[in-house]
C-alpha cells in the first residue's frame, strides 16, 4: 500500500514568548506541535498559564513590529513573540532586555543593576494588597544567598509598609500563595498581603507604567 496519501505532521516549532510591556520578563520557551496544541486557542491558554499573565492572552505579536499572529501555522521555528490580552502591542526592546536596559540604574543594594544581575541577582516586583495608588516596588534576590522565608517576609514588611501591619504572605496576581523563595520567578509580579484576605484587583493594568523608561525607575530604591 502506498504511503503517498498519508499526510505528514508538520515539524515541531520552538518559540520564545515574552509578556507585553514587560522588558524584564525573561521569556518562556514553547514547543509547538500538533500533538500538544490542536488549536491556536489551546496555545493561547497554555501561554497564559506559563507566563502567568495577569489577564488571559488573546493576541500574539512579532516583537519588533507588532505584527499579529493569527494561527499556529504563522509561528516560525526559532522565533520570538509577544503575548498580550486585548490591550495594544507595546513596542519595547524585547530581544535585548536585561543588562542593556538596566545600564545606568542601581538596585536596592546601591550596586549597578546590570552588574548585580550578572552576578546572579534577579528581581520581582511587588504590589501592596488593596492599594491601587502606590506603584510596585522591586524585590532583589541573590541566587547565591540562602534566605529564610521569615527573613524575606520581614524585608517585605519594611518595604511594603502596609496599613494592616506586617506582611504575612506573598501572593501571585491570581491570589495563589507563594511559600518559598524557590517559587519566585524572575521578572514576575506579586502582592504583599498582611493578615487580611488577598484582594484581587487590577494591579498590573493600573499600576504598571506603559513607558519602559518609567518602569526602569522601579529599580532605583
**114 lies in some domain:** no
Same domain, 139 and 69: no
Q: Which residues pair with 191 in a beta bridge?
A: 127, 171
Please answer whether residues 68 and 55 qualify as being in contact, where contact means their C-beta atoms are separated by less than 8 angstroms. no
Please report the pLDDT score of residue 198 as a whole number: 95
Question: Number of structural domains, the chain?
Answer: 2
Same domain, 75 and 139: no
Same domain, 125 and 203: yes
Please report the pLDDT score of residue 134 as a whole number: 87
For the chain (length 221 residues), average pLDDT per consecutive 10?
A: 53 90 85 89 93 89 88 88 91 64 38 38 83 86 66 91 91 90 82 94 78 37 32
Please report the pLDDT score of residue 128 as a whole number: 94
User: CATH number for the domain including 196?
Assistant: 3.10.20.230
Determine the Cα–Cα distance for residues 85 and 67; give it in Å rounded to an integer. 15
C-alpha dist (Å) from residue 220 to 37, 135, 184, 186, 188: 41, 13, 21, 17, 18
Query: Which domain-ending residue is among 57, 84, 111?
Result: 84
The model's pTM: 0.47
Same domain, 139 and 196: yes
**212 lies in some domain:** no
**213 lies in some domain:** no
**131 lies in some domain:** yes
Q: What angle do CA 117, 122, 123 make, to 5 degrees?
A: 120
Same domain, 125 and 186: yes
Same domain, 139 and 193: yes
**126 lies in some domain:** yes
Determine the Cα–Cα distance for residues 122 and 145; give it in Å rounded to an integer. 12
Structural domain containing residue 143: 121-207
In terms of DSSP bridges, do strands 68-69 and 80-84 run parallel, antiparallel, or are they unpaired? unpaired
Query: Which domain-ending residue is among 84, 103, 135?
Result: 84
Same domain, 54 and 127: no
Query: Which domain-ending residue is among 35, 62, 84?
Result: 84
Please report the pLDDT score of residue 163 as a whole number: 87
Other CB atoms within a 10 A radius of the CB of residue 138 amount to 19
Q: Where are the beta strands (DSSP E) in the chain?
A: 13-19, 28-32, 59-61, 68-69, 80-84, 121-128, 137-142, 169-172, 177-178, 189-193
Please report the pLDDT score of residue 57 as a whole number: 93
Amino acid at each position: 500500500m502506498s504511503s503517498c496519501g498519508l499526510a505528514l505532521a508538520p515539524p515541531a516549532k520552538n518559540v520564545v514568548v515574552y509578556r507585553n510591556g514587560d522588558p524584564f520578563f525573561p521569556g518562556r520557551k514553547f514547543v509547538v506541535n500538533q500533538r500538544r496544541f490542536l488549536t491556536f486557542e489551546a496555545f493561547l491558554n497554555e501561554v497564559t498559564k506559563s507566563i502567568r499573565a495577569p489577564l488571559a492572552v488573546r493576541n500574539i505579536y512579532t516583537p519588533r513590529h507588532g505584527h499579529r499572529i493569527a494561527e499556529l501555522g504563522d509561528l516560525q521555528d526559532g522565533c520570538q513573540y509577544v503575548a498580550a490580552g486585548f490591550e495594544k502591542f507595546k513596542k519595547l526592546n524585547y530581544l535585548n532586555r536585561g543588562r542593556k536596559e538596566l545600564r545606568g540604574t542601581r538596585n536596592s543594594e546601591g550596586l549597578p543593576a546590570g552588574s548585580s544581575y550578572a552576578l546572579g541577582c534577579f528581581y520581582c516586583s511587588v504590589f501592596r494588597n488593596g492599594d491601587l495608588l502606590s506603584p510596585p516596588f522591586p524585590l532583589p534576590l541573590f541566587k547565591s544567598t540562602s534566605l529564610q522565608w521569615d527573613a524575606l517576609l520581614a524585608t517585605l514588611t519594611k518595604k511594603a509598609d502596609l496599613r494592616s501591619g506586617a506582611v504575612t504572605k506573598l501572593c501571585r496576581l491570581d491570589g495563589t500563595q507563594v511559600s518559598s523563595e524557590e517559587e519566585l520567578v524572575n521578572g514576575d509580579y506579586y502582592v504583599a498581603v498582611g493578615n487580611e484576605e488577598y484582594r484581587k484587583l487590577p494591579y498590573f493594568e493600573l499600576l504598571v507604567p506603559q513607558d519602559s523608561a518609567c518602569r526602569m525607575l522601579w529599580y532605583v530604591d
